[in-house]
Amino acid sequence: MNFYQQQVKNVFEQLNTSQEGISNEEAQKRLEKYGENELKTSEGTPKWVLLLSQFKDVLTIMLVVASGMSLLIQNYRDAIVMLSIVVINVIIGFFQEFKAEEIMSSLKELVRSPAKVYRNGEIQELSQQKLVPGDIISLEEGDKVPADIRIMESHNLRTNDVALTGESMPQEKHSNQINEERSVADRNNMAYMGTNVASGSAKGVIVSTGEETEMGKIASLTQEEERSQSPLQQELTVVANRLAIFAVLIGILLFGVSIYRGLDLYYALIYGLGITVAIVPQALPMQVTVALSQGIAKMSEQNAVVKKLSSVETLGSTNIISTDKTGTLTKNEMTVKHVWFNDQEYEITGLGYKPEGDILDQDGNPLSEEKIDELEIMFDAATMASNAEIHSPDEDHSGWYPIGDPTEAALITLSTKLDTRSPKEDKENPELHEFSFDSERKRMSSIRQFEDSKVLTMKGALNSVLSVSNYIYKDGEKVEITEQDKQRLNELNEKYSDQAMRVLAIAYRKLGPDETDYVIDEIERDVVFLGLVAMIDPPKEGVKEAIEDAHQAHINTYIMTGDHAITAKAIAEEINLGAKGEMPVITSQDLQQLSEEELKHKMNENESIVFSRVSPEDKLRIVKQLKEQDKIVAVTGDGVNDAPALKSAHIGVAMGQAGTDVSKETAEMVLLDDSYPTLVHAIKQGRTIYNNLKKTVLASLTSNGAELSIVLLGLIGAALFGWPIPILAIQILSIDLLAEILPLTALTFDPGSEELMTTPPRERDEHIINRNSTIEVLFLGILMGGLAFINYGLFVSGVGNELTESHALYPRATTITYLTIAVCQLINILSRRYKFTSLFNRNLFSNRKMIYSILLSIVLVLTVVYMPGLNSYLDFAPVPIQDWFSILSAGGIFLLAFEGVKWYKRKNA
């Protein structure tokens, strides 16, 4: 029901309650009916299910099948090696991903503190879980709102709703009925679960608890959303499925041909197994997992924590960033930026509540201490008419933080950074009486004792303060205020307001000795107008530059905020969001009037859009529309209201310092420093990792093409010449494990190119395996396998046709085949570092991990070839120097061919 549109007495009737609340017995009945006032969280995936899910990868399944085939033909050695690869893949994948399963569990923490409730006509403290619709509760400054509440009595109540709506400023709340329909952010006779009381007090009737609250609806939206599969996951799934179909068809075909040629069942199975193992890139899942893990380690060193492996490369594909404003682009800390005093305008430096900064004159020069002393009268009046405090960082706060109203905290920060506020101010000038702020007067004032005199200090909206101002402070004395003065002040007020700044007027009056009856209309009169203070929630450091980097990288940026359109547009203009063209501002009301087709047209027509006053449902709709357009969407946010969009996006990015636990646990990535530039750097890192993974995949598939070629050529040699198979399945596996896994992993450490962030992100339908890359992989793979078969054939021809599997020289023959492929593969990996550039360039040694890994791989290969016992176990044999001549010659031919491929690509680029 829309309780905000009803009178309080009607709410009482519908909920069967009264001013005194309900009885404990009735509360127990309602608790059984409605359930506890807590937000249910989605159950995490059991660890055993998560472990089994690691086996769903097609390449892993095929490796298990291949090992099973080895067991069937009693080839236990090959089976053990293949199963070892499977176990390594599964362990790495499991331990990297199981930590991300505790999504949304922290929602329960929002309702853990006790609440003041009227039961049986008496006030008592109860656990928030025990609250039910119809309960009457009391709220005071600093309280968490325990449920959704229709306000029945309000005493200058203002609530901080940023976690729910994204609204940066505390919202005034009252008890009046609202006739028209309004969004959640504008229902100012309601207070909602998960928000806080910034100032004032109130009583209210609970109308919704648990999952029926607005917070609960957001939780439901979050749990309903499926996590998106990353582009690389989709790509590898396509590759794996194609390889699986190809492997099965070729394996069956060659098994049939082997039987037709008269080979026995055992020999035919050996061939079938060889084909299966050759086509499947056994180590590819592990290589990708290790590469992404390394990317996560790099990014964590730079304050970007990624919780899911696939999210690393998703960043590199991102072409849309939909970002929250408050706390993400801005500090969510009110900051005084301008001061007007004595007909002079001053600028204040420094951001947030950290009391560091200067006051500058109109020429940009810091004021002298003498000049600051002249302004102290206004700063003192502002702080004495404020109740907030600011505190230095502690165990619970990473930075300076406020207690009380953010606007008042900004005034305290201003005086503290300029050293005009005494730490003992409240003791030196004690407050005698306070007239609190209310929405009708739009001002507040405080009577202070100054030695033998009393002074009224005042702050509030300009029109309100001007209405009781008879004087204005000029050149150290008070003079009568003129219409010209008022016109000038109104012009300044309009100027600051157009820049989305909140403007406060400051005034004071010395009270007479006989003014002891503190009647508001008698006291708040004939004040001396001191000046104006303009404040805003400012953009964070480096955001403007990061937005520019995103523009250069062809990444479109949208703002999705609960703030007002004027405020959102002003921030967007300050950070140069619309540098590439028009930047429309679409409110939630506008959005509801747009059809899906019209919204799609707006998105395609504009590279930057500001969505203001949007609800969690609106944000979710925006993200879904972008996904339907095949955009790769990154969503940033820090509030509970951002959680559904964070989860629906391809990658959700939460703020680690200002972010709620809900947003951090929902997101796949957390920025520890809440820095937008860190996100842009992470996108660059994501692009680098994807490019390196592309090199890894193509290099891996090239060697698999070579292994497939050598097996097929071996089958032809066996059919035509009676030659034994040129390479064994265990040796094919040894190529992957010894000769390439370390260099392929080191390939992921290649630094990004200079033009990486000036080119568009890859298209959604762009695949690693496309027509050109397939032709290249086939050519180089067949060449590599062909060179190995030629070397094998030359050796067999030299020995004679009597060479069989039982011949003493047969292990040496297969070792020559193995070494030829291993050498060519190392050259292949080195050459893959550069798409167009020759291998021989000045950056050849820029990736030292690559050089070290190749040297280590060479040592491992030579060890299994020459170490007695180990070589015989793996069916290798030592090769003399004369054999190395043909092996290295084949490597040289392969290198020349690869250089020719690059020359052709440069020519046609």
Q: Which residues are catalytic?
A: 324
Structure tokens at 351: 């951001």
**Alpha-helical segments (H) within 728-809:** 729-734, 741-747, 771-799
Rg of the chain over Cα atoms, rounded to whole angstroms, equals: 36
Q: How far is CA 451 from the centre of its chain?
A: 55
**How far is residue 728's CA from residue 91's CA, in Å, rounded to a whole number?**
27
Hey, is 829 helix, strand or coil?
A: helix
Q: How is residue 415 annotated by DSSP?
A: H
* CA-wise closest residue to 42 among 108, 96, 97: 108
Question: Which residue is associated with the tokens 């080191």?
Answer: 746
Integer angstrom CA distances of residue 735 from 86, 402, 617, 710, 741: 16, 62, 53, 13, 9
C-alpha separations of 5 from 14, 145, 173, 183 in Å: 13, 20, 14, 12
Q: Within a 10 A sphere around the Cβ of 25, how many other Cβ atoms? A: 9
Alpha carbon separation from 498 to 493, 501, 781 (Å, rounded): 9, 7, 65
Residue with tokens 């032709």: 775
Specify which residues 403 forms β-bridges with: 389
What are the two backbone dihedrals, phi and then psi, of residue 711, each rounded to the nearest 5 degrees?
-70, -45
Q: Measured between alpha carbons, how far is 876 from 738 in angstroms, rounded to an integer?
A: 13
* CA–CA dist 874, 861 (Å, integer): 12
Give the residue from 299, 377, 327 showing the smallest Cα distance to 680: 299
Q: Tell me the C-alpha distance between 835 and 851, whole Å.
A: 18
In this structure, which amino acid lies at residue 886?
S
In 461-614, at which residue ranges do the beta strands (DSSP E only) sit? 469-474, 477-480, 502-511, 527-536, 556-560, 585-587, 608-612
Q: How many Å apart are CA 607 and CA 553, to the nearest integer? A: 13
Strands 304-306 and 669-671: antiparallel
CA distance 106 to 36: 16
Structure tokens at 539: 């953009």
- Say how many C-beta atoms besides its own lie within 10 A of residue 779's C-beta: 15
Query: Of 88, 34, 365, which is closest to residue 208 (Cα–Cα)?
Result: 34
Rounded-to-integer distance, Cα 684 and Cα 124, Å? 55
- Reading the block at residue 293, the tokens are 């893990």
Phi, psi at 70, each rounded to 5°: -65, -40
